[in-house]
Amino acid sequence: MLENFERASILVLGSGTSVGVPMIGCRCKVCTSSDSRDKRLRPSILLRFGDQRLLIDTTPDFRYQALRFKIDRLDAILFTHSHADHILGLDDVRPFNFMQKTDIPIYASADALVTIRRTFQYVFDDSPSESSRPRLTPNVFDATPITVAGLDIQPIRVAHGRGIAHGFRFGDCAYLTDHSDIPSASMDRLTGLDVLFLDALRHNPHPTHSTVEESLRTVELLKPKRAFFTHISHDLLHSALAARLPENVQIAYDGLEIPVGRLGA
């Protein structure tokens, strides 16, 4: 079983903020940049280990992300929270149900699952239908570790404005997207990391997101070997920001693949 966790990697499916970059109708220098790293789909990653594929969030771009990155199976989906930019692609998991002929387990906090059920009422409606619906097995997590496809995952609670979101730690890697603050109990769970993803929306303060400067301070406190910023808005030009970041901090971009060695114990 353990060898399943070797040669693991994280694939960035999307690194953009909720409206994506470019933003519809915007002619700013980032939205019109020819650098492919400035083209950001909505935020999501795919965790690959052995033949397992774990998806974090189903963005409105999920169909395109799955085609673009040739995702050919899905073993489970983890949700960070229930904002539209993280859940609205859920209907597009149907082809994986068709191919795999199984339900797909999904994992969310109790609150997020309530919103997912309300938003996708038809998915969880058991009455007969002539149309296909995603076939999902819902699972709720709280603060205790969960085991998904054989991998131990620690949910990490973070503040997202007045709301709550979750990041996830797996082995020496952690993925934290939308957060404005990381409570100290969660910071304690983020020590000794190889890879740490953090929200870094822009430079100017925002009520629900961390800025580049705030996330740089988090990196200084937690000292991961490698940090990656995500959920990036059109305020940040990849090449200009990359040149100013410390050596252990990178800006994530769509298609970035990060080998993480071995996951798990």
> Which residues contribute to the site for Zn ion (CB under 5 A)?
18, 26, 28, 31, 83, 85, 178, 234
Write down the least CB distance from residue 19 to Zn ion, Å. 9
Residue 31: CB minimum distance to Zn ion, A: 3
- Of 18 and 52, which has the nearer Cβ to Zn ion? 18
CB of 87 to Zn ion, least distance (A): 10
Choice between 8 and 182, CB closer to Zn ion: 182
Alpha helices in 82-235 (DSSP H): 84-87, 94-100, 110-119, 184-187, 212-222
- CB nearer to Zn ion: give 14 or 171: 14
Minimal CA–CA distance to 219: which of 252, 197, 244, 251?
A: 197
Q: How far is CA 38 from CA 24, 206, 242, in A?
A: 14, 21, 12
Q: How far is the CB of 59 from Zn ion (least distance, A)?
A: 9
CA distance 155 to 166: 6
Q: Which long-range contacts (CB under 8 A, 24 or more apart) does 208-211 make?
A: 208/160, 208/161, 208/163, 208/178, 208/180, 209/17, 209/160, 209/178, 209/179, 209/180, 210/179, 210/180, 210/181
Least spacing, CB of residue 17 vs Zn ion, in Å: 7
What is the nearest approach in angstroms of Zn ion to the Cβ of residue 150? 28
How many angstroms from the chain centroid is the CA of residue 71?
15
Contacts of 231 (CB under 8 A, 6+ apart): 15, 16, 17, 43, 177, 178, 199, 200, 201, 209
CB of residue 230 to Zn ion, shortest distance in Å: 10
Nearer to Zn ion, 202 or 234 (CB): 234
CB nearer Zn ion, residue 118 or residue 225: 118
Given the complex with Zn ion, which of 19 and 245 has the nearer CB atom?
A: 19
Closer Cβ to Zn ion, 178 or 214, answer by number: 178
Distance, in Å, from the CA atom of 264 to the CA atom of 3, rounded to the nearest integer, reads 10
